Structure 1
Amino acid sequence: MDVDRSGVVVVGAGIAGVACAVELTRAGVPVQVRERGHVSGGRMASKRFDGRPADTGAAYFTVSDPDFAAVVDDWRAAGLVREWTDTFWAYDTSGRHDVPGPLRYAAPRGLRSLVEHLAGLVPVTVDRLVLTVEPGPTVDGQPYEAVALAMPGPQAALLLDPALADATRVVQAQTWSPTLSAVLRFGSRHWPTFHGAFVNDHPVLSLVCDDGDRRGDDAPVLVAHTVPEFAAGHLAQPSGAGPAIEQAVRDLLGLPEPAAHVHVHRWTYATPTGGRTDHTHHLDADGIGLAGDAFGKPRVQSAWRSGRDLGRALAARLG
Structure 2
Amino acid sequence: MVVVGAGIAGVACANELTRAGVPVEVRERARLTGGRMASESFDGRPADLGAAYLTVDDPDFAEVVDGWRAAGLIRPWTDTLIAYGPEGQREVAGPMRWAAPRGLRSLVEHLARDLTVVHDRVVMTVEPGPRVDGRACEAAVLAMPGPQAALLLDPALAAATRAVAAQRWSSALAAVLRFPARRWTDFRGAFVNDHPLLRLVCDDGDRRGDVAPVLVAHTTPEFAAAHLLQPTTAGPAIEEAVRDLLGLPEPAELVHVHRWTYATPTDGGDGTYHLDDDGIGVAGDAFGRPRVQSAWRSGRDLGRALAARLLADRG
Q: Which residue of 1 aligns with 2:307?
A: 315
**Equivalent residues of 2:235, 2:254 under 8 A apart:** no
Q: Distance in 2 between matches of 1:260 and 1:310?
A: 43
| Residue in structure 1 matched with residue 287 of structure 2 by the alignment | 295
The yes-or-no answer on 1:195 pairing with 2:180 is no
Which residue is equivalent to 2:125? 132
The amino acid of 2:85's aligned partner reads D
Aligned residue number for residue 186 of structure 1:
179
The alpha carbon displacement at 1:263 in A equals 1.0
Residue by residue, what CA displacement relative to the aligned partner does 1:103-145 show, whole Å, maximum 9, x if unpaired? 0000000000000000011100000000000000000010000
Separation (CA, whole Å) in 2 of partners of 1:261 and 1:50: 13
Q: How does 1:274-293 map to 2 (within 5 A)?
A: 274-277=267-270, 279-293=271-285
Cα deviation code 1:138-167 (max 9, x no counterpart): 000100000000000000000000000000
Task: Give 3-state SS (helix, strand or coil) of 1:18's partner.
Answer: helix
Partner of 1:3: none
Over aligned residues, Cα RMSD in angstroms?
0.5
- Partner SS, residue 294 of structure 1: coil
Q: Distance in 2 between matches of 1:282 and 1:201?
A: 35
8 A contact 2:30–2:121 mirrored in 1 = yes
Tell me the number of residue pairs that the alignment of Structure 1 and Structure 2 aligns.
Answer: 311
Equivalent of residue 29 in structure 2, options 20, 32, 36:
36
Q: For the Cα contact (< 8 Å) 1:89–1:198, is it kept in 2?
A: yes
Q: In 2, are the aligned partners of 1:242 and 1:262 still within 8 Å (CA)?
A: no
Among 3, 13, 16, the residue aligned to 1:20: 13
After TM superposition, list the pairs within 5 Å mapping 1:66-215 onto structure 2.
66-215=59-208
Normalising to structure 1: TM-score of the pair? 0.97
Question: Residues of 2 paired with 1:221 and 1:145: CA distance?
Answer: 46
Residue 260 of structure 1, CA deviation: 2.2
Residue pair 2:175, 2:254 contacting (<8 A) in 1 also: no
Q: 2:257 aligns with which of 249, 258, 264?
A: 264
Alpha carbons 2:29, 2:122 under 8 Å: kept: yes
AA at the equivalent of 1:113:
S
Deviation per CA, 1:54-90, whole angstroms, max 9, x where unpaired?
0000000000000000000000000000000000000
Q: Which of these residues, 225, 228, 233, is aligned with residue 232 of structure 1? A: 225
Separation (CA, whole Å) in 1 of partners of 2:57 and 2:283:
19
Whole-Å separation in 2 of the counterparts to 1:283 and 1:175: 19
Write out per-residue CA displacement over residues 21-42 of structure 1, whole angstroms, 9 at most, x where no aligned residue: 0000000000000000010100
Match of 1:304 in 2: 296
Alignment check: 8 A CA contact 1:82 1:106 kept: yes
Does the CA-based 8 Å contact 2:5-2:29 persist in structure 1? yes
Q: Which amino acid aligns with 2:309?
A: R
| Residue 91 (structure 1) shift | 0.5
Runs of 4+ that moved beyond 6 A:
none
1:193 and 1:207 map into 2 onto residues whose CA distance is 15
Give the secondary-structure state (helix, strand or coil) at the position aligned to 2:150: helix
SS in 1 for 2:187: coil
- Deviations for 1:265-289, whole angstroms, at most 9, x for unmatched residues? 0000000111331x10010000000
TM-score by length of 2: 0.98
Unaligned runs of 5+ in 2: none
One-letter amino acid of the counterpart of residue 166, structure 1: A
CA-CA distance at 1:262 after TM superposition: 3.1
Give the drift of 1:261: 3.0
Residues in 1 aligned to 2:91 and 2:127: alpha-carbon distance in whole angstroms: 51
